Amino acid sequence: MTTPGSNPDAAAARAPRSLSASAQRVQEALTGAGFDAQVFELEIPVRTAAEAASAVGCEVAQIAKSLIFRAERSGRAVLVITSGANRVNEATVAEKLGEGIGRADPDFVRERTGFAIGGIPPLGHATPLETLIDEDLLTHREVWAAAGHPNALFRLDPRDLARMTGGAVTRVR
Ligand code: 5CA
């Protein structure tokens, strides 16, 4: 006879996967906001869109890169979530925001997002971020985003990016 809950394989399948603290924060932000996405951690870090795509077996265009810029006049932090296949055109973004932008330095990124470059997630940030979402991401059925740590990712419907960030879907190229 099998006692319910005594099968070690079933127990392992149910056990919460162990996540690093920063990835766990993203999982909690997702769950708390009503999204059922599951954060998971790879054995190896994936610091670029190309590495992430090859690790999860998707197209590089399906990686949602989270890039932080600093608005020049207001000093606000701007999150641009772009397709791994695209390069953000700072002039295009500046025009949408009504002020110039520049690449944020690592300290600014950590201070405003609470995370280090290489694992910036689309949600769960330390401070509110003005957010723009690359319209090209919406051409995919599913995309993958960083989850707070270089080894951590989650899969989502790209339409959820707008819901979880309040960001505008627009052209950023
Ligand atoms: N974990 C991976 C795959 S999801 C990841 O987070 N990729 S990413 O593209 O979203 O974030 C890495 C990006 O951070 C790089 O593409 C690069 O644009 C940016 N970056 C790297 N170094 C710096 C730096 N010193 N200052 C600002 N941005 C940087």
Q: Ligand 1 centre and the CA of 4: distance in Å?
A: 46
Q: Ligand 1 centre and the CA of 34: distance in Å?
A: 27
pTM score, two decimals?
Answer: 0.91
Q: What is the residue-level pLDDT of the chain in tens, covering all 173 positions? A: 444 545 555 554 555 568 999 999 999 999 999 999 999 999 999 999 999 999 999 999 999 999 999 999 999 999 999 999 999 999 999 999 999 999 999 999 999 999 999 999 999 999 999 999 999 999 999 999 999 999 999 999 999 999 999 999 999 99
d(CA 154, CA 169): 20
Going by alpha carbons, the residue nearest to atom 29 of ligand 1 is 117
Identify which of 76, 96, 84, 120 has the alpha carbon closest to the alpha carbon of residue 168: 96
Going by alpha carbons, the residue nearest to atom 15 of ligand 1 is 48
Q: Which CATH number fits domain 17-170: 3.90.960.10, 3.40.718.10, 3.60.20.10, 1.25.40.10?
A: 3.90.960.10
d(CA 22, CA 26): 7
**Domain assignments of the chain as residue spans, ordered by start:** 17-170
CA atoms within 13 A on the CB side of 102: 8
- Ligand 1: residue of 48, 78, 120, 125 to mutate (most ligand atoms within 8 A of CB) is 48
